[in-house]
Amino acid sequence: MILVDTNVIVALADRSDTAHELCRRWLEEQTDELALPITVLAEACYLIDRFGGPIAEAQFLDSVGSEPARQFRPVDLTDADLRRMSELVRQYADRRLGGTDASLVAVAERLGITTIATVNRRDFDNVRPRHVPAFTIVPT
């Protein structure tokens, strides 16, 4: 399973995004299950609607769900995830990790996920998760 960051979703939805082609090619090659913490889902909906409109947002939502035909599986946050997010935001305050990125780390730790799809390497290259020395970052 791979956790997907908001910037990958937005790049996929916006053909003018500089990372669109990179993310599109990466998505076409995926055989792993792709998951989104609900924080990523909410942030992506907001940004896609803001820059692409409600039809683009609806198209994205069509790709999310637990059914096998859906590309992205939503992952709920637990109370433990929220506590860990708080710790991470404090620990990386100088880097302004933020709640959404912290949720990716917390969910990855809980589910034992080692790969994160993001075009924001800066944050995730510097984070030290509890369960592995470092995350594998894709696409490259």
- What is the distance between the alpha carbons of residues 34 and 93, in angstroms, rounded to a whole number? 28
Is 5 annotated among the ligand-binding residues? yes
CA dihedral (7, 13, 18, 19) in degrees, to 10, reads: 60
Is 79 annotated among the ligand-binding residues? no
Q: How far apart are the first and last CA of the chain?
A: 17
- What is the distance between the alpha carbons of residues 119 and 115, in angstroms, rounded to a whole number? 13
- What is the distance between the alpha carbons of residues 96 and 85, in angstroms, rounded to a whole number? 12
- What is the distance between the alpha carbons of residues 31 and 50, in angstroms, rounded to a whole number? 30
Of 19, 68, 30, 60, nearest to 43 by C-alpha is: 60
Return binding residues: 5, 101
Annotated binding site for Mg(2+): 5, 101
